[in-house]
């Protein structure tokens, strides 16, 4: 029998109906992603998608390497079999979820601008689901104020974690304020360009927060914790005067080494002005009412 995404998807549904956990093969993930309706939102209409090849090869993933080319090369043998994410801390319903569980969330395509602090930018069609759906499931207690994310720590699979002088303090950690995490723009992504995430882009599951600099969008997540105190993120710990907790895209707040006023989209020659909150001011500015964005950078 020829295996098409269509009948793979049906098969998976049959498995689920029987209550038998089907093994999540890459083909099944792909089937699930391909079956999505192409959902474009009005705000995304004026956005030109970045070239897929560029978006999947011009990457930052220090656990593999600080060098973009080398990171892609070293990501080739990375497997995500039996991946699990533990969700714990200040919640009524702690959970341990596998990728099958994540694919049961309402997946949708989201076309977002993405802006790295290194001043390059791209427009990516992510596939994922709103983080708030997961948050609603685990029911944070009244003590929960921040959501902390942690990337896999595995010296065998991540060469830089095994280096004599690792580039960062691992595991990579990031966090959002609970209300930022609940914003409908915050997603957990499992795919890009209608395909499962490639290892170098943060397979099998990563955060995407489009109004913040790229380093907030933590890759290959294994732990999500709800906490009382504001966590210190990896880049903040590395250089607190360069990388703030909030890291909201802001053309008026320069990084010591890079003016953030302009950006260059992948594949383009000319630069263009960077937008406050990366163009998502309408959706997120209210989260920072009364805050001095120069102090809380």
Ligand X SMILES: Nc1nc2c(c(=O)[nH]1)N[C@H]1C(S)=C(S)[C@@H](COP(=O)(O)O)O[C@H]1N2
Which residues of this chain interact with ligand X, rule CB under 6 A? 59-63, 116, 151, 172, 201-202, 214-215, 217-220
198 scored as a contact of Mo ion (CB under 5 A): no
208: which DSSP letter? E
Q: Which is nearer to ligand X, 186 or 217 (CB)?
A: 217
| Shortest distance in whole angstroms from residue 114 CB to ligand X | 6
Tell me whether residue 112 is annotated as binding.
Answer: no
Nearest position to ligand X, beta carbon: 214
Q: Which is nearer to ligand X, 4 or 167 (CB)?
A: 167
| Shortest distance in whole angstroms from residue 1 CB to ligand X | 36
| Shortest distance in whole angstroms from residue 168 CB to Mo ion | 12
Tell me whether residue 193 is annotated as binding.
Answer: no
279: which DSSP letter? G
Tell me whether residue 151 is annotated as binding.
Answer: yes
Rounded-to-integer distance, Cα 29 and Cα 277, Å: 32
> In angstroms, how far is the first alpha carbon of the chain from the final one?
56
| Shortest distance in whole angstroms from residue 93 CB to ligand X | 26
What the block records as the tokens of 114 is 């993405």
Tell me whether residue 143 is annotated as binding.
Answer: no
Reference 179, options 129, 209, 145, 208; nearest CA is: 145
Size of the site for Mo ion (CB under 5 A): 4
252: which DSSP letter? T
Which residue among 128, 196, 214, 244 contacts Mo ion (CB under 5 A)? Answer: 214
Alpha helices in the chain (DSSP H): 5-18, 26-34, 52-57, 68-75, 99-103, 131-138, 178-182, 234-238, 281-284
37: which DSSP letter? -
Q: Which is nearer to ligand X, 29 or 218 (CB)?
A: 218
Reference 80, options 205, 215, 173; nearest CA is: 205
Residue 59 touches which member of Mo ion, ligand X, none, C-beta under 5-8 Å by kind = ligand X
The answer to whether the beta carbons of residues 131 and 216 sit under 8 Å apart is no
- Which residues neighbour 171 within 8 Å (Cβ) at sequence distance 6 or greater? 150, 151, 152, 153, 161
| Shortest distance in whole angstroms from residue 47 CB to ligand X | 16
Tell me whether residue 62 is annotated as binding.
Answer: yes
Q: Applying CB under 5 A, which part among 48-56, 76-84, 116-124, 269-277 lies near Mo ion? A: 116-124
215 scored as a contact of Mo ion (CB under 5 A): yes
Tell me whether residue 283 is annotated as binding.
Answer: no
| Shortest distance in whole angstroms from residue 139 CB to ligand X | 27
Question: Exposure string (b/e) for 205-220, b if CB count within 10 Å is 16 or more?
Answer: bbbbbbbbbbbbbbbb
E-only strand ranges, the chain: 84-89, 95-98, 108-115, 120-130, 146-151, 173-177, 187-192, 195-196, 206-208, 221-227, 262-265, 272-273
The DSSP element (H or E) to which 26 belongs, if any, is helix 26-34
> 40 to 69, contacts with Mo ion by CB under 5 A?
60
Residue 218 touches which member of Mo ion, ligand X, none, C-beta under 5-8 Å by kind = ligand X
Q: State the binding site for Mo-molybdopterin.
A: 62-63, 116, 151, 201, 206, 217-219
Q: Give residues in contact with Mo ion (CB under 5 A).
A: 60, 116, 214-215
Q: State the binding site.
A: 62-63, 116, 151, 201, 206, 217-219
């Amino acid at each position: 029998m020829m295996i098409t995404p269509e009948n793979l998807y049906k098969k998976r549904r049959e498995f689920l109906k029987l209550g038998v956990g089907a093994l999540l093969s890459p083909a099944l993930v792909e089937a699930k992603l391909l079956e999505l309706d192409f959902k474009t939102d009005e705000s995304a209409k004026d956005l030109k998608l970045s070239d897929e090849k560029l978006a999947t090869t011009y990457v930052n993933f220090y656990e593999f390497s600080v060098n973009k080319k080398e990171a892609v090369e070293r990501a080739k043998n990375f497997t995500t079999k039996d991946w699990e994410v533990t969700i714990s801390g200040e919640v009524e319903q702690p959970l341990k979820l596998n990728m099958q569980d994540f694919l049961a969330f309402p997946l949708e395509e989201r076309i977002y601008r993405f802006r790295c602090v290194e001043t390059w930018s791209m427009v990516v069609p992510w596939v994922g689901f709103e983080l708030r759906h997961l948050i609603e499931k685990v029911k944070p207690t009244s003590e929960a104020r921040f959501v902390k994310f942690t990337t896999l720590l595995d010296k065998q699979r991540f060469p830089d974690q095994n280096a004599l002088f690792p580039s960062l303090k691992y595991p990579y950690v990031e966090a959002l304020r609970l209300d930022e995490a609940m914003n409908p723009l915050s997603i957990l992504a499992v795919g890009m360009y209608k395909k499962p995430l490639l290892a170098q882009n943060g397979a099998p599951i990563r955060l995407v927060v489009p109004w913040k600099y790229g380093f907030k969008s933590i890759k290959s997540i294994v732990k999500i914790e709800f906490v009382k105190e504001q966590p210190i993120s990896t880049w903040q710990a590395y250089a607190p005067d360069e990388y703030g907790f909030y890291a909201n895209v802001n053309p008026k707040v320069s990084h010591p080494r890079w003016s953030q006023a302009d950006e260059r989209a992948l594949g383009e020659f000319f630069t263009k002005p960077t937008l406050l909150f990366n163009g998502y001011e309408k959706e997120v500015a209210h989260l920072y009412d009364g805050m001095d964005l120069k102090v809380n950078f």
